[in-house]
């Protein structure tokens, strides 16, 4: 650690440890440094901030320093830290700056610098900035005339980030009752909008910043407020963010805390089951709970320990190709999607796990679910099959629907967000999009055979078996969809079940199934 910069940037009490003079000089050096590295001789820098009163003061000081050194500055205004990282690496900026002291009290503030790859700034450059602040480097030249930098409103960057978050979940959150504690911080304009767009019934607390109430008895450092709120409102789950929304803690439907270690365990198990946990390893810090390691050992999941700080967690992940890492405090990194901790992204990934993973439930609820499923297995038909059908998603229909929404949307900011979402899909997301369908297949068994059994009687018996399964799955908190399938769909499904390998390579033409249906109709006559 340097004289001014620590593991998470330059941080201290506003105008005491961190002053406007410091901010101005940081801006001056960054504009000069990246201007020299840019082939055009002019740096391009994006700035975000949280809701602290002093954040506006430091923003203006940084802008003055940067533009005085010839840099063009793009302002995202109040926005989460991970959004700055995302925009830097996707929109071609030389570097990004986030003004925030994270979970600290409102009177503190900080300057976090992000390089062009979306990572935290290299220590060597931080040392050069410190030397410039202390006067150990000669004064750098001021830009003049047309070389003076300009300032650009870039609130669309925040909208692009929101659109990106909306593309990550693989399912809708419809009918899920979700509580959000935004800590009166950087998440207050983003989190609810994302969850609403994904179909959740969203309930928000601490979403009215006044410049001095950020992190005050709220957010991830004061989880008790959200715990009470979730229980009183009867919500399914709750998420609490910190001041700059780069960390997240979870609360289950009983008000029990799910900290960063538990999030790592739940998401790690889920990713392993889906073949997404690269090298079967999770990155933790030396502060992680011993219980986490015992639980991972039982599931055969490896782990790599680092020093405290998501900076070190990501360095380890990047070096070794790991996909998941984090801290007990709620800094969780999903390297497929982000280069830093992202509280809102973490909550979206937990939402993806919730329907299929019972480890966010209380011990009593887990036992009830297991008992219900075990009871059903005891009475289930011997020939019951469970089929998983995975196919490339048809994103074209989704894009066309979003385009219609964009044409009808009167709010310019919302329209931009929809259009950004469409562009993200066009940039390659569609290529990896998959849709998953799970089926329970009930079939005619010899035990159903009787002298007077008609086709209608057999069908009625099968429907009764399906109704029984539905009731038990409801007790297991699994949603069962009513089948609305055509004969063609059923025939295709049977073809894929009976010819698993062939069906992946050979898609039979539509006419084959039409002809089969027609022959079946003749046979019935």
Residues recognised as catalytic: 102
* Composition of the chain by helix, strand, coil, percent to 5: 45, 20, 35
Angle, CA 94 vertex, CA 91 and CA 96 arms, to 5°: 80
Question: Please, which residues bridge with residue 11 across strands?
Answer: 110
Q: Which of 168, 191, 169 is nearest to 180 (CA)?
A: 191
Edge-to-edge, what's the strand order for the sheet holding 9-13? 5-6, 9-13, 108-115, 95-99, 44-49, 72-78, 151-153
Q: Got the DSSP string for 184-246?
A: TTTTTTTHHHHHHHTT-EEEEES----SS-TTTT-GGGSTHHHHHHHHHHT-SEEEEE-TTS-
Cβ atoms of residues 274 and 324 within 8 Å? no
Question: Please, which residues bridge with residue 151 across strands?
Answer: 73
**Phi, psi (deg, nearest 5) at residue 301:** -105, 130
State how far the alpha carbon of 199 is from the alpha carbons of 129, 166, 192, 193, 194, in Å: 46, 11, 11, 10, 9
DSSP state of 18: B
> CA-CA distance, 62 to 307, in Å (whole number)?
31
**Phi, psi (deg, nearest 5) at residue 360:** -90, 0
> CA-CA distance, 25 to 29, in Å (whole number)?
6
Q: Got the DSSP string for 87-107?
A: HHHHTT-SEEEEE--TTS-TT
């Amino acid at each position: 650690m340097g004289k001014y910069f620590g593991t998470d940037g330059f941080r201290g009490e506003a105008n005491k440890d961190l002053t406007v003079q410091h901010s101005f000089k940081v801006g001056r050096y960054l504009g000069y440094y990246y201007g020299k590295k840019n082939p055009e001789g002019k740096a391009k820098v994006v700035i975000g901030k949280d809701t602290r009163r002093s954040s506006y003061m430091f923003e203006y000081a940084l802008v003055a320093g940067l533009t005085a050194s010839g840099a063009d500055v793009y302002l995202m205004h109040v926005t989460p830290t991970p959004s700055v990282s995302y925009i830097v690496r996707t929109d071609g900026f030389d570097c990004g700056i986030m003004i925030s002291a994270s979970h600290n009290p409102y009177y503190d503030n900080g300057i976090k610098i992000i390089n062009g790859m979306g990572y935290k700034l290299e220590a060597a450059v931080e040392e050069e900035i410190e030397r410039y602040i202390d006067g150990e480097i000669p004064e750098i030249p001021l830009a003049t005339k047309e070389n003076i930098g300009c300032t650009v409103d870039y609130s669309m960057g925040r909208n692009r980030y929101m659109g990106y978050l909306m593309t990550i979940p693989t399912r809708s959150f419809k009918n899920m009752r979700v509580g959000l504690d935004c800590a009166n911080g950087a998440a207050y304009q983003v989190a609810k909008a994302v969850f609403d767009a994904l179909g959740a019934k969203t309930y928000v607390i601490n979403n009215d910043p006044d410049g001095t109430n950020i992190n005050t008895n709220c957010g991830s450092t004061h989880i008790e407020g959200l715990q009470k709120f979730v229980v009183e409102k009867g919500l399914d789950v709750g998420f609490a963010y910190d001041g700059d929304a780069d960390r997240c803690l979870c609360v289950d439907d009983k008000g029990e805390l799910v900290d960063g270690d538990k999030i790592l365990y739940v998401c790690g198990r889920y990713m392993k089951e889906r073949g997404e946990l690269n090298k079967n390893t999770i990155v933790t810090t030396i502060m992680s709970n011993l219980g986490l390691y015992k639980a991972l050992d039982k599931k055969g999941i490896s782990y790599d320990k680092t020093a405290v700080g998501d900076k070190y967690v990501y360095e380890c992940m990047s070096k070794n190709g790991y996909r998941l890492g984090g801290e007990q405090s709620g800094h969780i990194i999903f390297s497929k999607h982000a280069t830093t901790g992202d509280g809102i992204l973490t909550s979206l990934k937990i939402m993806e796990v919730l329907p299929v993973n019972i480890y966010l439930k209380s011990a009593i609820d887990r036992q009830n679910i297991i008992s219900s499923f075990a009871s059903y297995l005891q009475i289930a038909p011997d020939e019951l099959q469970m089929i998983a059908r995975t196919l490339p998603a048809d994103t074209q229909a989704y894009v066309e629907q979003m385009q219609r929404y964009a044409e009808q949307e009167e709010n310019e900011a919302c329209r931009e967000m929809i259009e950004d979402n469409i562009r993200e899909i066009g940039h390659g997301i569609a290529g990896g999009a998959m849709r998953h369908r799970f089926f329970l297949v009930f079939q005619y068994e010899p035990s159903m055979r009787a002298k007077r059994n008609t086709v209608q009687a057999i069908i009625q018996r099968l429907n009764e078996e399906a109704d029984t399964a539905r009731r038990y799955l409801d007790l297991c908190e699994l949603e069962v969809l009513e089948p609305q399938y055509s004969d063609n769909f059923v025939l295709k499904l049977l073809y894929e079940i009976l010819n698993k390998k062939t069906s992946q390579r050979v898609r039979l033409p539509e006419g084959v199934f039409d002809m089969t249906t027609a022959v079946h109709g003749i046979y019935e006559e």
